[in-house]
Amino acid sequence: MTSVPRLRVGAEASAGARVALGPLDAHHARAVLRMRVGDPLIAFDGLGQEWDATIVSVADEVIVAIGAPRPLITMPYRLTIYQGLPKADKMDLIVRMGTELGVARFVPVLMARSVGRAARVDRWRRIAAEAAKQCRRATVPDVADPATFALAAAAFGRHALRWVLWEGGGASLGAVAAAAKGAVTDADIALFLGPEGGIDDPELRQLDQVGRRCSLGPPVLRVETAGPAAAAVILAVLAAGGESSLR
């Protein structure tokens, strides 16, 4: 059976309303999916709400009639990844895979060993939106504008749980996440990772003042692997025994 497509609507959507799809989703509905009046879809606003819906017009705009809300399932935590800005398209992969794994927010950070300096924030936001649509999560993660290390470290220190993924060792991330499960009621988690060259010593000393060094084991992972791998560990540990949802 063909799956019902998921398309994003604006924040103004609500049960009983008729809303127009944005240009990208309208093009996808018309040209790619070849949807027609009467076709069903799942509409989601990227903020955590989604509804059953129906196409009611494909004329000048693609208009959908919003129907009944679908059951809401939430993640057991809110994970923010502070990622030392990598080079080339590696951030594309981090955002795409992190979105699929339930990351709530990405903060690109300009660090001492960052090779890449070009920030393609609009592209990363589009990737996050497309990945959320594809993996059936109802929220689209936020991608912040690039931050200096000083600003990022200060923001990192305000999260409830603060873990620094370091290639030089540290406590097992899985064990640290398991210890946190049930021990705290605030599920606001932040993970700080370096770029290709890692976190330099002055940066690491500053992060040590506000966070805990953690490790995924002896192998040194590529920058585009480390963040998604860590998010997968956190998801597996903190979501165990609960709903398996990527919303």
Residue 23: the pLDDT is 87
CATH number of the domain within which 56 lies: 2.40.240.20
- Host domain of residue 50: 6-69
* Residue 201's pLDDT band (cuts 50, 70, 90): very high
205/136 same-domain check: yes
Residue 184: the pLDDT is 62
Contact yes or no for 147/114 (Cβ under 8 A): no
Residue 149: the pLDDT is 97
Residue 73: the pLDDT is 61
Average pLDDT, the chain: 87
190/91 same-domain check: yes
157/184 same-domain check: yes
Domain count for the chain, please give it. Answer: 2
35/136 same-domain check: no
245 lies in some domain: no
Place of tokens 């504008």: 145
0.75 exceeded by pTM: yes
CA–CA dist 64, 217 (Å, integer): 49
Tokens (6 digits) for 219 = 């192998």
CATH number of the domain within which 156 lies: 3.40.1280.10
64/91 same-domain check: no
Q: Model confidence over 18-61: pLDDT tens digits?
A: 998 988 888 888 888 888 998 988 888 878 788 889 999 988 88
* 245, pLDDT greater than 80: no
Residue 230: the pLDDT is 95
Which of these three, 19, 52, 69, is where a domain ends? 69
CA–CA dist 79, 28 (Å, integer): 30
